A and B are shown apart, each in its own frame.
Chain A
Amino acid sequence: MKLAVEAHGLSKSYGPLRAVDGLELEVPAGIVLGFLGPNGAGKTTAIRMLTTILSPTAGSFSVAGVPHTRPIEIRSRIGVLPESAGYPDSQTGEEFLRYHARLFGHSRSSARDTSAVLLDEVGLASRGRTFIGGYSRGMRQRLGIARALVNNPEVVFLDEPTLGLDPAGQRQMLDLVQRITKERGATVLLSTHLLAEVEEVCSQVVILNRGRVVAEGTVAEVARQAAAPRRARLRVAPDRTAPALAALSDGGKLTAAELRPGELELTFSAEADPEAMSGEAFQRLLSAEVPVLGFELEGGRLSDAFLAMTESA
């Protein structure tokens, strides 16, 4: 398996404070990795080390196969949208992209073409000649994404790209993230607080707390690892509530209770396998000719795992 990012024992201390503490990370190429953690967990510090902006106190890493001892080479292969990035108000979006494209080695004409293509891709083609000072927060973030792509990077680091954006802006940003992976084949490391967007776009997640990795794997694995579901909500037609209750309540591993007509709460005993029991419940409802209108396992979501892991650690 080709790794896009690899870190071993990566640490960063500020005096007595250990912002990142022995980070171990292996990110396969071509995926979107959700990099999660509460405020102060060390996400931004970790990203800054991996993008060679900060020197680690200890440990080693490689990005796109380039060891950390060659920072300039790493920077030429990555794209980064920093957290709270600033933009020069007196430059136009086009000028800003052209400058950065040239810093990454584009010729004058190639930089001009690149900036035009990228502005179009992030939906800023019509505002390319406007001063950045007049851009909204969402436009600035999209410009930042365009800047991160000027060198056609192998690995893209996005630190809180949806911070401060309205729902429409968040939607646009998520679409961009998905396109970066699908159309460019780049690996994306996405740091965010919005767990719903992680569940939507990320194939793997890492949860960081107090500078350490407390969970990693696919979204389902992490959710299961942290908070195995013990309850579920079931919706049936209101007039089918009684047959559903009769079919489900066996007094053993599964109990069912009516919350209101048409809505039931299922509780799994501690020794029961929730997924197997859910399947069995469906079988019983099928046998009793009760159509299922809705079913949701509680405590099996990424948000539950996030809270469980970051509160208990």
Chain B
Amino acid sequence: MSAITARPVKRAWPLVAEQELRDLWLAGRGLPLIFAYSLLLSVITYLVATNTALNFLEQRESVNLTLQVAVAAGSLLVLLGAADAISGERERGTLESLLLSPATRLSLVVGKGIAALSIWVAAFLVAIPYLSFLGRGVGVVGLAIGNGLLVGVLLALFLAGLGLLMSALSSSNRFSLSVALFVLLALFAPTQLPSGAQQSWVGDLLLRIDPISSGLHYLGKVIVDGHSAGQELSWLIGPAVAAALAVTAALAASRWLNLRGGPS
């Protein structure tokens, strides 16, 4: 047997991210998920375009509706990817090999987080042609893409952090996915409040602190109502704070990343 020498790796997260991206997009669930996502967007776009043609919907409203579906569904995919990232490895028995490498726990979490966020990037790229088609002629496409990207990145960061946190702490993949999905559904709840309830101070507060509701509300104000981004910037405080908190929590949880889940 020949002697082969290695030097201690300084920054492992790019290596982890590279392998995770390869696993996700070449051999994993990335492509099927994006295919399903594009089918959903196709159906939504068809329905919205039909309603617009029949004058049931303003063109700006149709762009906003499709963008909201794209952002919400894209975020959901990020959550699924992140929630599976660590607990899935734990269940498949492949986490131990990674933990036995000299890569820090933090670099493992960062690398996996980047792979999960790549799902959002792909989802958003898929959404652009649909938005361009629906918004043609009214000068709203650039606005929708720019603001959709801003809100989507914040929500994707929030949900990637949340999913990774759940995945790092839970011993079962099913548990981490269930909890993450439950939290996501709970966060969509304020968007379903009747408009009267939304206008009360409690409803307003709920909308503002719930990152998903406030993000989608911001998009509506900017794209449909034509308000400037600066005018409605306060609606982005919720998503920004949630993203910062979730990402920080996920990075902090990497210190306790272990074979069984939960603090060691």
Interface residues of chain A, those whose CB is within 8 Å of chain B, are: 48, 51, 53-55, 72-73, 75-76, 78, 80, 82, 84-88, 90-91, 99-106, 110, 113-114, 117-118, 121, 147, 149-152, 179-180, 183-184
Contacts and interface: CB of A to CB of B under 8 A. Distances in A.
A100 B101 contact: yes
A105 B4 contact: no
B27 interface: yes
Nearest to B95: A86
B14 to A, nearest CB: 10
Contacts of A91: 23, 27
Contacts of B98: 103
A76 B1 CA distance: 19
Given A87-B94, A106-B7, 14 more contacts: A48-B259, A51-B100, A53-B99, A82-B96, A85-B97, A86-B92, A86-B93, A91-B23, A102-B9, A103-B12, A103-B98, A105-B9, A114-B4, A179-B1
Contacts of B258: 53-54
A150 B19 contact: no
Given A82-B100, A90-B28, A152 B3 contact: yes
7 contacts: A53-B258, A75-B102, A86-B97, A88-B94, A102-B9, A103-B16, A184-B3
B132 interface: no
Contacts of B94: 85-88
A14 to B, nearest CB: 9
Contacts of A72: 8, 102, 104
Contact of B264 (A55, A73, A88, A102): A55
Contacts of A147: 97
Q: Is the interface of B mostly helix, strand, loop or mixed?
A: loop
A53 B96 contact: yes
Find the residue from A55, A91, A101, A179 having the highest chain B CB count within 10 A. A91
Interface in B1-57: 1-9, 12, 15-16, 19, 23, 27-28
Nearest to A77: B102
B81 to A, nearest CB: 15
Interface of B: 1-9, 12, 15-16, 19, 23, 27-28, 92-94, 96-104, 258-259, 264
A99 B15 CA distance: 8
Q: Which of B19, B92, B93, B101: most chain A CB closer than 10 A?
A: B101
Contacts of A53: 96, 99-100, 258-259
Contact of A54 (B3, B15, B28, B264): B264
A84 B12 CA distance: 25
B99 to A, nearest CB: 6
A48 B12 CA distance: 22
Nearest to A122: B1
Nearest to A78: B100
A89 to B, nearest CB: 8
Contact of B19 (A76, A99, A151): A99
Contact of A80 (B2, B23, B100): B100
Contact of A104 (B1, B9, B19, B264): B9
Contacts of A51: 100
A101 B264 contact: no
Contacts of A179: 1
B23 A90 contact: yes
A149 to B, nearest CB: 8
Chain A CB within 10 A, most for which of B28, B97, B98 = B97
B90 to A, nearest CB: 9
A85 B101 contact: no
B27 A152 contact: no
Contact of A76 (B16, B96, B102, B264): B102
Given A51-B100, A55-B264, A72-B104, A117 B2 contact: yes
A75 B241 CA distance: 37
Given A82-B100, A88-B23, A150 B6 contact: yes
B15 A103 contact: yes
Contacts of A54: 258-259, 264
A152 B100 contact: no
